[in-house]
Amino acid sequence: NGIAPCNLHIDTGECVALTGPSGSGKTLVLRTLADLDPNDAEVALDGEPRSAIAAPEWRRRVCYLAAEPGWWEDRVAPHFPGDGSAPALFDALDLPAALLEQAVATVSTGERQRLALIRLLLLEPRVLLLDEPTSSLDAAAAERVEAMLGERLAGGAAILLVTHEPRLASRLADRRLEIRDGVLS
């Protein structure tokens, strides 16, 4: 139930798609890189080892977006800074600002997925670890997410993208890796 020893390098501005069957270890790779589960992986960002960076700071630089993001408040607004930075991203992803006033439970799955992406992007991470970021989206919403991710890549972010969608991988990723039974190739 682990990941076999491997080397993975992602360049600035590069998107790598990680594919493989369900249960093969894709999410485990993301969670390991994000330092969310106990692990002894040697991970570095810009040559600085993860062990030399405080965990909260690491998780601001290397952000993980779960396939089913968590919500810690009943309403949407407390999940976003009160500085007015979110509305521009809401517009870019075709989300009404009125969603901020809603209860999380009343927001659709696709809207929650885009809201979670906005929450992550507001941190301006250097690395985005994305687990099926368009799985609950219709074609138009997925296209907007892809455009936004493309902008982040152009701005120098690196993305490791888990997906079961070959077309998404071919449109966004510079290269593909596959994982089967914990072995990355």
Q: Is the dihedral of CA 2, 8, 13, 16 positive or negative?
A: negative
* 0.85 surpassed by pTM: yes
Question: CA-CA distances (angstroms) from residue 157 to 18, 77, 98, 137?
Answer: 17, 26, 29, 23
Q: What is the DSSP letter of 97?
A: G
* C-beta contacts of 147-152 below 8 A and 24+ residues apart: 147/92, 148/89, 148/92, 148/93, 148/117, 148/121, 149/15, 152/121, 152/128
Asked whether the beta carbons of 114 and 83 are under 8 A apart, the reply is: no
pLDDT, tens digit, for every residue of 25-68?
899 999 999 999 888 889 999 999 999 999 999 999 999 999 99
pLDDT at 1: 60
Say if CB 155 and CB 3 are below 8 A apart.
no
| Adjacent-strand bridge partners of 62 | 127
Q: What is the mean pLDDT of residues 118-137?
A: 95
Distance of CA 78 to the CA centre of its chain: 20
pLDDT digits (tens, 9 = 90+) for 135-150: 989 999 999 999 999 9
